[in-house]
Structure 1
Amino acid sequence: MKIVTVLGARPQFVKAAAVSRAIAAHNAAQPDSTTVLQEVIVHTGQHFDENMSDIFFREMEIPPPHYHLAINSVGHGAMTGRMLEKIEEILLEEKPDFVLVYGDTNSTLAGALAAKKLHIKVVHVEAGLRSFNMKMPEEINRILTDRISDILCCPTDTAVQNLIREGFEVPAGGKSSSKGALVLKTGDVMQDAALYYSTISSGMAVVSQQLGLVSGQFVLCTVHRAENTDDPHRLMEIVEALNEISLQMRVVLPLHPRTRKILTQCGARLNFDAIDPVGYFDMIELLKGARIVITDSGGLQKEAYFFGKPCVTLRDETEWVELVQQGDNVLAGARCTVILAAFSAMKDKMVNAKGGLYGHGAASRDIVRALAAAV
């Protein structure tokens, strides 16, 4: 069976590493070639910077892309349209049984649309997530992708319930009569990756040592979402808060190239460590050593939890509502005073990540088993 995997953004590389490794393990256990899963990887190029893309394929031993489309640095419409055109050409040539997409990016939607219009089955990993904010491009992408997917791999019970509320049926047998889709709670593939790579990250990472960071004595921060970076008022409020926090504790911010450019244009004064983007191993070690995480990244909210770190989220809502309900994550939006209050309340909080909220590290295996059974 042939699977075309479409990816293009940094979080998708992490997720794909876990699933590609599970595919390889499945194939190694097969008695003959007729039951092997062949994966063809398409990299759209949505994230193209060396530290945002290539380093992940090298470090995480992801199979190199069979196709690299190099589509980036254009608007949403042009990007999605160009991806759709190029992915369609590849699918016509490869003739896969399934197209596998991850998350909620333009690459996700383009891959799903191209497949569905060619009557190829779509598998959506990280299905069912909802922020209930239709101003977010990611929310539009994930809703549309779910609607046309054939196998929906949900990371949490909340994600499954979101799909049920939207009309998907999830009987005991799994097959939905109304949507023709298979809805599965698989757990979170990002946890699979975190558990696996955390055992080897210390020998591969260099940034914490280069910066002279002291474990438990710094804040790890990321800011990249358009709702923050494209709104000068929100962005400057965040910078003001981080500058204030840096007077109490060292702040380390791996900075997306686009965000750095915007900050320069705004004339922002940064009184903290704004470093270049880092690879996955360095990010794991930064997470291990941080006292607290401040971020607008969906993936980093979960990774903070995986490594037992409290999180302040620079958004007005989150898809990962379980973390907020448990008190391990707090929504602070982009107001300086609210961010500072949230930091003070959360910086000494103890987080217990052993409850299996996102599964127990077997999501990738379960997704591959579902694919193999669907032939």
Structure 2
Amino acid sequence: MIKIMLIAGARPNFMKIAPIARSFDKTNEIEYKILHTGQHYDQNMSDIFFEELGIRNPDYHLGSGGGTHAQQTAKIMVEFEAICEKDRPDLVVVVGDVNSTLACSIVAKKMHIKVAHVEAGLRSFDLTMPEEINRMVTDSISDLFFVTEEQGMVNLKKEGKPDSAVHFVGHVMIDNLYYQLSKLEKMPSETFKTTEYKQQHTRYGVVTLHRPSNVDDKNTLEAVIDSLSSISRTLPLIFPIHPRTRKNLETFGIKPAENITLTDPLSYMEFLNLWKDSVVALTDSGGLQEETTALGVPCLTLRKNTERPITVTQGTNELVGTSKKKLMVNFEKIMAGNWKTGRKPDLWDGRAAERITDIILAP
């Protein structure tokens, strides 16, 4: 029996560990526990949230959110070490690139516990991004690397990782997308509060914006909102707004155009119900670049780089940075029906978690 600790620090992390947990449930060779570091407080993460994911509530909750990057990382490390001392796993599985990923990897490795990194090998090559540092350090000490796209294999090979430890398995986030989509299709439309908006707007775009480089500087945020306001004159936009972004809009005195509808943050199912039928997604998120590619929805990413290049080379995503000219040129292509159709990347078939389980159990 292998004892495994699944680590999650924020809501997107739970969407990545959920398919793995469901896969583990199908075997009697793995005993696993779920640890929530509490890195991000999220009121949408109720009991219903875990029920929707088809997983149990976390076995451990550290409640270590808040503070600077260093404070948060340190809190998680201290508390996770105590957990490992009393309930030592054989393997710690971390996902993505948040501070929890970095903190728990370091603790496990120093306690001589093996580390598996899901979404390994992704690189933006932009060291101003905290997530890039988390990815690089985690991969530098991990024992098993589970890769979502071919470029991740290339990156890890260049960094000297042994071929025997690197596994191209597909993407657990896409596993979860298909799982949730199948559930959503069985739910009545009146379940969702955004249904009214969809009924009023047959064509619309969705916006997500939270990255510090876009929202913490007044001039940058003003320019982005000006671009979105221009787009909204042609296509109404709905913007589930991150608390950080809302606070900065208020602090800087920036007002989006009337045709941009601001809402509170949405649950995963609520947001999926919204963006899957949109004309375009405008985002600085990493995950939404991938999910839109999986469902063939046009995506314009308000960043100069991406650690998920397959969404551009094979998918429906395009990098536009914060240039209004580039954004408008690409937006007009989408509205004219002149957008790349893209294709679903290899192994994005909903079975990544099964492959991960098989590799962990392999003799």
Which of the five TM-score ranges fits, normalised by the shorter chain? over 0.9
Could you tell which deviates more after superposition, 203-212 or 238-247?
Answer: 203-212
Residue aligned with 2:276, SS: helix
From 115, 126, 145, the equivalent of 1:122 is 115
Between the aligned partners of 1:282 and 1:351, the Cα distance in structure 2 is 27
Change over 3 Å in CA distance of 1:108–1:360 after alignment to 2: same
1:247 aligns with 2:240: no
Counterpart in the other structure of 1:189: 172
Same amino acid, percent of matched pairs? 38
Cα drift, residue 93 of structure 1: 1.1
Quick check: 2:314–2:344 contact (8 Å CA) kept in 1? no
From 247, 266, 280, the equivalent of 1:292 is 280
Change over 3 Å in CA distance of 1:259–1:75 after alignment to 2: same
1:71 aligns with 2:57: no
Map residues 285-324 of structure 1 onto 2, 5 A cutoff. Answer: 285-324=273-312
Give the TM-score normalised by structure 2.
Answer: 0.93
How many residues are matched? 356
Quick check: 2:293–2:343 contact (8 Å CA) kept in 1? no
Between the aligned partners of 1:257 and 1:52, the Cα distance in structure 2 is 16
Give the TM-score normalised by structure 1.
Answer: 0.90
Counterpart in the other structure of 2:7: 6
Counterpart in the other structure of 2:325: 337
Matched to 1:123, the amino acid is A
Map residues 139-150 of structure 1 onto 2, 5 A cutoff. Answer: 139-150=132-143
Residue aligned with 1:64, SS: coil
Gaps of 5+ in 1: 28-34, 175-181
Cα drift, residue 46 of structure 1: 1.6
Quick check: 2:315–2:344 contact (8 Å CA) kept in 1? no
Cα drift, residue 258 of structure 1: 1.8
Cα drift, residue 54 of structure 1: 6.1
Between the aligned partners of 2:338 and 2:301, the Cα distance in structure 1 is 15
Quick check: 2:314–2:343 contact (8 Å CA) kept in 1? no
Quick check: 1:6–1:42 contact (8 Å CA) kept in 2? yes
Could you tell which deviates more after superposition, 347-356 or 125-134?
Answer: 347-356
1:371 aligns with 2:360: yes
Between the aligned partners of 2:37 and 2:248, the Cα distance in structure 1 is 24
Matched to 2:151, the amino acid is T
Quick check: 2:315–2:342 contact (8 Å CA) kept in 1? no
Between the aligned partners of 2:135 and 2:234, the Cα distance in structure 1 is 38
Matched to 1:229, the amino acid is V
Quick check: 1:43–1:68 contact (8 Å CA) kept in 2? yes
> In the TM superposition, what whole-angstrom CA distance separates every residue of 1:223-251 from its partner, at most 9, and x where no partner exists?
01122122222211111111111111110
Quick check: 1:192–1:363 contact (8 Å CA) kept in 2? yes
Change over 3 Å in CA distance of 1:140–1:259 after alignment to 2: same
Cα drift, residue 53 of structure 1: 6.8
From 195, 210, 224, the equivalent of 1:224 is 210
Quick check: 1:223–1:229 contact (8 Å CA) kept in 2? yes
Matched to 1:23, the amino acid is F
Gaps of 5+ in 2: none
Between the aligned partners of 1:214 and 1:307, the Cα distance in structure 2 is 23
Counterpart in the other structure of 2:160: 167
Cα drift, residue 327 of structure 1: 6.3
Residue aligned with 1:6, SS: strand
Counterpart in the other structure of 2:270: 282
